[in-house]
Structure 1
């Protein structure tokens, strides 16, 4: 097991089915680029990508397994089957949904025990302050703000939830990760300044479709406004 040793940037290398970069060794190449760029860890989804990255990249790997379940909103490593798959793939840290919905805080006790029995570390992906506190009490080794803005009862905002980071940093004793909607280096620095030990960046680095859309959307808005201003007045 490769432990996280120093503070810094974790790069989330994920592509879901239907996205242009899904499949093959694309995420391995993304992870290699992140390693060369100075990342201190990789976050990866699914046994295939986790195993491939773990074999080739000398960085700690945070593994998860996104799987939808009928009638449930929980999809980040939801059951024991996904936990075992992530462990067997070689992840150093297993990340899962630890939100206060669908009796999840009770369900994760068994999953947490499974992770620790395998000699791995466990990360709680939470969306609120109360969930972060509950995760530490349950025995999770890391807490991450991954799901802030993705549960209906957490703040819905465009940028990272720095207020949550600051509040949790003052209350937790386990390492805190800032993840979610970090789009610029300045926001990563703000997260560190607020007390995060690590900052996870995904879309802004590893999703070129999303990156392109941020540019094309801005340009389209500018062009539409320019055309409207330049149109002859009636």
Structure 2
């Protein structure tokens, strides 16, 4: 069975702790990954080469790998460098995610994509617009995701705090594998992705970022109490 066949109609759990938080440790990421698989996750999304290498030894499901970096001269964070992509493949990634927007970064998105494909794995373009998705598919990306919608200057506010269904539906009309990602943070929202063009859905913060989940509950209580 191919990776995309495993992902079809599946749930991908993103095991990315809050940066520098108390759960931002390799052993905890591995435990998160194992727990997600035990709960039924069909695949995982793992950040960082060291994390990915450790998780690869612990699970059998497909892994989407990425590396996040914070640069002073670019807002792009996801798999910025060609070498990062190659390191992820070496660590065992079945799919490498990269920023598929047209924003400037040290290594052009097209070059990162080519490096992923040359390494023999599937490339996932984390996109923000319809044009991003079309460009990624034309370049050979095997998966296009709505990941960046609402998180770029061009798309700020898309989805009004919820998923960008308009973009998801537009992607569903294209000839590619579509990953719903970005603010699918309840079971109902995750399920709704498949009625709006998704082939798979990724859920992250609502499952693996305890600080965020706690904050949602705390905020709701404070609003109720006035």
TM over 0.5: yes
| Contact 2:76–2:105 (Cα < 8 Å) also in 1 | no
TM-score (norm 2): 0.93
1:64 and 2:66 matched = yes
1:24 is displaced (CA, Å) by 3.3
Distance 1:190 1:163 in 2: 13
Farther off after superposition, 30-39 or 15-24? 15-24
Q: Against the structure 1 CA distance between its residues 20 and 130, is the aligned structure 2 distance closer, same or farther, given a 3 Å change threshold?
A: same
SS of residue paired to 2:198: coil
| Contact 2:149–2:164 (Cα < 8 Å) also in 1 | yes
1:212 is displaced (CA, Å) by 0.6
Specify every segment of 5 or more residues in structure 1 that has no aligned partner in the other structure, as ranges.
Answer: 225-234
TM-score (norm 1): 0.90
Farther off after superposition, 15-24 or 52-61? 15-24
Aligned partner of 2:161 among 135, 153, 158? 158
Q: Against the structure 1 CA distance between its residues 16 and 216, is the aligned structure 2 distance closer, same or farther, given a 3 Å change threshold?
A: closer
Aligned to 2:135: 134
| Contact 2:179–2:202 (Cα < 8 Å) also in 1 | yes
| Contact 1:7–1:40 (Cα < 8 Å) also in 2 | no
Aligned partner of 1:34 among 36, 48, 67? 36
Task: Return the index of the structure with the highest Cα Rg.
Answer: 1
Farther off after superposition, 82-91 or 32-41? 82-91
1:124 and 2:120 matched = no
Distance 2:49 2:191 in 1: 31
Distance 2:154 2:3 in 1: 33
1:64-109: CA deviation from partner (whole Å, max 9, x where unpaired) = 00011221101100011211221121111000001022278x9122
SS of residue paired to 1:190: helix
Superposed, which structure 2 residues align to 1:54-133 within 5 Å?
54-102=56-104, 107-133=108-134
Distance 2:26 2:114 in 1: 33
The count of aligned residue pairs is: 222
| Contact 1:2–1:59 (Cα < 8 Å) also in 2 | no
1:16 is displaced (CA, Å) by 4.3
| Contact 1:14–1:27 (Cα < 8 Å) also in 2 | yes
Distance 1:140 1:24 in 2: 29
* Runs ≥4 residues deviating over 2 A: none
1:96-142: CA deviation from partner (whole Å, max 9, x where unpaired) = 001022278x9122222221221111000000111111111111111
1:211 is displaced (CA, Å) by 0.5
| Contact 1:162–1:190 (Cα < 8 Å) also in 2 | no
| Contact 2:80–2:112 (Cα < 8 Å) also in 1 | no
